[in-house]
Structure 1
Amino acid sequence: MTTALERPLVQRALSPQFPLAATAAAASPTRVLLADRHHLFRSGLGALLDREEDLAVVAEAVGGEEAAAAAPGVRPAVAVLGVDPEQPDPTAAARRLQHAVPGAAVLLLVPALPRTAQDRRALVEGAAGVLLKDVQAPALIAAVRELARGGRVYDPRLVLEVVRGGQSGPLSRRELAVLGEIAEGSTVQEAAAALSLSPGTVRNYVSAAIAKTGARNRCDAIRIARECGWL
């Protein structure tokens, strides 16, 4: 009898209700590929994401090369790649996977942020998302969803360093405008009226800003935006 620990890598089959040929159908879940050399970390992350109805882990791999080789066959929307401390170029795996599947967004999970500003900028330029491996589960799930929507998500400390180096932040002008209104004490309804938006759209912009900055809530997102010099 084959156990979960004996299951071949890159053979994580889709459940019958999510056949590969049916991904074009409406309401199909976001396809996620996982890569990390540590089996326990990878399987735990897979179990976490598989609990979400809108996410489906379609393949697992030990490292970047194996992930890039598997990606064309499973066509992930998001690839979550764990980075090892001794890895000389963390973005190399992201580049390989993006070359294999140009439409895939890559989320790098790093054990620690680089010490130099140059290395931090390279991370931001090399992947759509960068978070620490000790990120809380809700923030990780929100990040995967944000990347699937075409957004970008970075650890706030990483973004702060990059902004100080002259790079642009991840928040759009509309998201910053909404945060600015709320930072001045406006309610959602008041911010919507001031910006000629619907309250629902304002809430969506706030949610996007929270996800992109890795904030806990709107107040935390405002704090991060101010610290980064965006507001």
Structure 2
Amino acid sequence: MTKLSVNINKFATIRNSRGGNNPDVVKAAIDAQAFGADGVTVHPRPDERHIRYSDVRAIRNIITTEFNIEGNCLEQKFVDLVLEVLPDQVTLVPDAEGQLTSDHGWDTIRQRDYLIDIIRTFKKAGIRTSIFVDPLREMVEGAAETGTDRIELYTESYAREYSQNRTQAILPYIDAAKLANQLGLGINAGHDLDLQNLRYFAENLPFLDEVSIGHALICDALYLGYENAIQLYKRQLNHS
């Protein structure tokens, strides 16, 4: 069954807009677990404009489900944090400095040697690794050569094209997933998955281990309630 990891960055964005500790990000992690999420994801950025490094440390102390930290491993500060808190999984994302949101995967061919080294560092510490990739065969093949445990398929193009032609939109992802499985890689997915497009994606993508969803789920929670939103997303996955 595909697992749901809830990205709680948006709670921190709201908190930081006013100062103080409302909403409480640590409580958001605790509640995600209590409401049925299979994991909690955070994405600290160097400017700490949403999740702060202190949040990551505090969540590590209370987490009882899977903890996934994603971010830019080109930043030594991020590498040091991950090695300090030892999450269950680290997801490596090739963000540029100051980037609003992740918008592309690694070039696993051009950046192969770097990825081999940094993945070895995390795996030596006992942390499962996943790297963000576009649904391209050559990038999946390159990922397999880095030693990563999993890939996370960047699903923005699927989400964008879903309403026009969902059958066509998912084809490159199916191809990438089948190839990844053949190469011994686990498969995660994320970015712009929501209540409209998630079920079809999960039903049709083979070997899908986990999805990480934040923005859409938190937006839905504003109208539907946090617990209800998590359960609705879980229901889409359980139907697959």
Q: Same fold (TM over 0.5)?
A: no
Q: Which has the higher strand share?
A: 2
Normalised by the length of structure 1, the TM-score is 0.35
Larger radius of gyration, structure 1 or 2?
Answer: 1
Q: Tell me which of the two structures has the higher relative contact order, counting C-alpha pairs closer than 8 angstroms and 6 or more residues apart.
A: 2
